[in-house]
């Protein structure tokens, strides 16, 4: 089952050309990656330089100025998404202002694209750090990174405590003290947040998503999803799904 879960999850993350490949909204996924601090996924989405992307609208007759305008749009949307994710408003707009000023002085398409990637990665890294800012111990900080990197497998207190080098009992107490949640609740919240992105950005069925995120059954996935979001997966998709 772990291999099947990994296949679903890898196909979603990498968009491999397999039978399970699903259409998705690139813009929604891009800003979701920034907001969630998913640095590895964002790096993949940034492989195509901004100035070579197809479909950029015409905001100026001057090609270089046009690219600068699109850069500014990305900066504004990144800031808004990070604010929605918990970043301080002044911090979000300070980052935006800093990079917009640097882009304004740029004289080549390549420089603007490079600044675009640096800006997006800075937002993303800060959001990744933000989710751990109240975490004091290195053990729990590393455990949170481990959780986010292994959402496609079943995780237990025993497994996580072993990775952290602590006893299960002490690890559980420390985790609850520093995150305010039990280990199982924290894992479920992370998985459901990812499930929300998958429901919005792909056409995977709830059953496929449940399998991809290593829930023991679709019914349990639905139960946890509704407990955390107040909606069933189907209802959530109905209210939030946007076609490309």
CA distances from 21 to 8, 26, 201, 203 (A): 9, 14, 12, 9
Whether 10 shows a pLDDT value over 80: the answer reads no
pLDDT of 25: 53
Domain boundaries, the chain: 2-19+133-240, 38-130
Whether 199 shows a pLDDT value over 70: the answer reads yes
pLDDT of 26: 65
pLDDT of 55: 82
Q: Tell me which CATH code domain 2-19+133-240 carries.
A: 1.10.10.60
Between 8 and 223, name the one with better pLDDT. 223
- Alpha-carbon distance of 166 to 170, in angstroms, equals 7
- Residues 151-177: pLDDT tens digits? 889 999 999 999 999 999 999 999 999
- With cut-offs at 50, 70 and 90, classify the pLDDT of residue 18: very low
- With cut-offs at 50, 70 and 90, classify the pLDDT of residue 1: very low
Mean pLDDT (the chain) is 85
pLDDT of 15: 41
Whether 149 shows a pLDDT value over 70: the answer reads yes
Range of weakest confidence among 31-40, 67-76, 129-138, 207-216: 129-138
pLDDT of 21: 33
pLDDT of 125: 92
- Residues 100-139: pLDDT tens digits? 999 999 999 999 999 999 999 999 999 988 877 666 688 8
Average pLDDT over residues 198-222: 90
């Amino acid at each position: 089952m772990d291999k099947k879960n990994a296949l679903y999850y890898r196909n979603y993350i990498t968009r491999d050309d397999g039978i399970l490949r699903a259409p998705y909204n690139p813009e929604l996924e891009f800003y979701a990656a920034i907001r969630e601090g998913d640095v590895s996924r964002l790096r993949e989405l940034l492989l195509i330089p901004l100035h070579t992307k197809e479909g950029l609208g015409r905001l100026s007759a001057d090609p270089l100025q046009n690219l600068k305008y699109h850069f500014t749009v990305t900066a504004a949307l990144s800031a808004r998404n990070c604010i929605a994710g918990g970043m301080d408003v002044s911090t979000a707009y300070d980052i935006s202002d800093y990079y917009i000023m640097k882009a304004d002085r740029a004289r080549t398409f390549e420089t603007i694209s490079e600044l675009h990637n640096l800006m997006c990665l800075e937002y993303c890294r800060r959001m990744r750090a933000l989710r751990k800012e109240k975490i004091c111990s290195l053990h729990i900080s590393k455990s949170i990174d481990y959780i986010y990197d292994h959402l496609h497998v079943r995780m237990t207190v025993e497994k996580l405590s072993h990775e952290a080098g602590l006893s299960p009992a002490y690890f559980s107490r420390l985790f609850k003290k520093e995150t305010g949640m039990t280990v199982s609740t924290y894992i479920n919240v992370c998985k459901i947040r990812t499930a929300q992105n998958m429901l919005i950005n792909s056409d995977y069925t709830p059953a496929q998503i449940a399998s991809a995120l290593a829930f023991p059954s679709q019914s349990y996935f639905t139960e946890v999803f509704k407990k955390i979001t107040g909606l069933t997966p189907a209802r959530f998709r109905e209210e939030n799904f946007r076609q490309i």
